[in-house]
Amino acid sequence: MDVSDAPTSTAEPAPQAVFLDLDNTIIAGSSALAFASTFARHGLVDRATVARGAWAQLLLVLAGADASTMDTLRRRMVLICQGWEVERVRAIVAETLQEVIGPLVYPEAVRLIERHRAQGAEIVLLSASGLEVVEPIAELIGVDRFRATTMRTEDGRYAGDIDFYCYSEGKAQAAREIAAELGLDLDRCAAYTDSITDLPLLEAVGRPAVVNPDRELRAIARERGWPVLGFVRAASRRDRLFRLRDRLADRFTPGGAGRGTAADGAGRGAAAGGTDGRAAVRPPAPAGRRTRIAAATGAGLAVLAVAGMARGRRRPRPLIRPAS
């Protein structure tokens, strides 16, 4: 669905701030996987790790990831990236940022950001990816305010642990801190994300919406009447996987068939501010054993997501012009 067709309300004021996830919300797929081959060419990871990461990502796209899976990825990640030279990986990504990330940005996400900015909303990027990769991507898409995962460094190298993990409750806490800094009312703010792990963020704001959601988040969005947006790119295999996953979810999720997405009608009340969207639902089922094992063995994917390092020495051309 084109974001321009998303439900809107003329009665409700524009949101004070809009909190946006990065992977599968603003860009197609994982910022980690996008740079995997580049890092492999420079010897930071081997080809086997890249292949295992791609397989893990495929399973996660189809089945989603629960907290246990993501915790396993995080622990493996910090071990693998320990000792990486920060400046080296920053330089590698700086050289390829525009060509790697630019084509992945969803046009609908660009229009969404432009529309909310025109309404006067503060645009905030929240991502579990590393600060060094999120900062240049934020610049690329014209977003000035962001929070991301920060890795501890010693003598210019990654020390093997995390100072702040901008994930799950961490994203919600970041949103609360930003709201306090700017004097914002979170009940008058919006959030967009794709993953069940970001449920705390969605529940923290008054206007939650989901983009390309995983199975569990899609079910919750329908239950609570949240808008469900589908961002696509032409000839994208990943987007075709998203559509296949959604069709399977519609078929096998109880009550899924025939209900339609929130964006197609069920969520219009929530988008217009007509409900608090907090109906009780059952907790999502955990990811299957095959998903957890493949995700763990594909730890290189998560490594690049959190430590995927890119403070650009060359300033990228913004895809969205920053607010004047």
- Residues annotated catalytic, as ranges: 21, 23
Burial (CB < 10 A; 0-12, 13-18, 19+), residue 59, is buried
Decide if 177 contacts 150 (C-beta within 8 A). no
Q: Whole-angstrom Cα distance, residue 289 to residue 287?
A: 7
DSSP state of 191: E
Residue (of 204, 175, 209) closest to 8 by Cα position: 209
Q: How open is the CA angle 10-143-299, to the nearest 5 degrees?
A: 115
